[in-house]
Amino acid sequence: MGVWELLLKNYDIIFWILISLVLLKVIFSLIRKFRDRKLLKTVTSLNRGTQSERNLVLQLLKWGVPAPTIFHDLCIEMKNGEFSQVDVAVATSEGIIVFEVKDYKGWIFGNANHSHWTKVLTYGKKKYRFYNPIKQNNRHIEILRRQLRQFEKIPFFSIIVFFGNCEFKEINFVPEGTYLVKFPRLFEVLRLIKQNNEAAPYTNKKEVVEVLKKAVIKGGNLGNQEKHIENINDMLGKNRIFD
């Protein structure tokens, strides 16, 4: 009996085996999504921040970072009444890691000393400028340091995480303690920070957690979110351009 005849003879069996495999794949996918959602909710809500920010939080959790040490979508109020928004912060034994999340495609060109960087699409046919993420995250860290006196002696690390199909083409003068990384290589950076730094001199860890938690609560306030967007728009000054 040939292969074709054998297949025809056992068509029903093969059909149900294939159906069962598809169903198992769907079931396992649903179980994984349910577990991921449950894990993510130990840190943040399912609709807060961007998808890339939530993905970062989820992968940190899966990597073994304790949920109580991860803070998502923080909003820090400054003395002038404006707000600074931090995507993700993690309190580690080596210090505070502050993440800025970017979701870009194309080639990325930048210099840490310049105010704007460039992203290039379609092989150079389209170019877009965006605010220097190193300066942006350094500003977040500067504002965060002012929240506690002990932060003056605690190391801060800046990680700019790029999601999306982008490529670093020419980026210069990245300062010490700052890392630019495409998401798949993020955990190499986290291991480097752990290996190359001693324990941070925290004087009151509970105080640190309370300050970061309060910033998360403020970040969930719709009014603060709207105020932050207004601040960004005012800084960019697009409403003052007439062409």
pLDDT by residue (tens digit) across 180-239?
999 999 999 999 999 999 999 999 999 999 999 999 999 887 444 555 445 545 554 555
pLDDT at 137 over 90: yes
State the pLDDT at residue 240: 47
pLDDT by residue (tens digit) across 86-112?
999 999 999 999 999 999 999 999 999
Please tell me the distance from the alpha carbon of residue 179 to that of residue 170, in angstroms, as a whole number. 15
Encode 16-36 in three state secondary structure. HHHHHHHHHHHHHHHHHHHHH
**Inter-residue contact 94 to 116 (CB < 8 Å):** no
State the pLDDT at residue 242: 41
Task: Quote the pTM value.
Answer: 0.83
pLDDT by residue (tens digit) across 52-81?
999 999 999 999 999 999 999 999 988 777
Measured over the CA atoms of residue 226, residue 182, residue 187 and residue 158, the dihedral's sign is negative
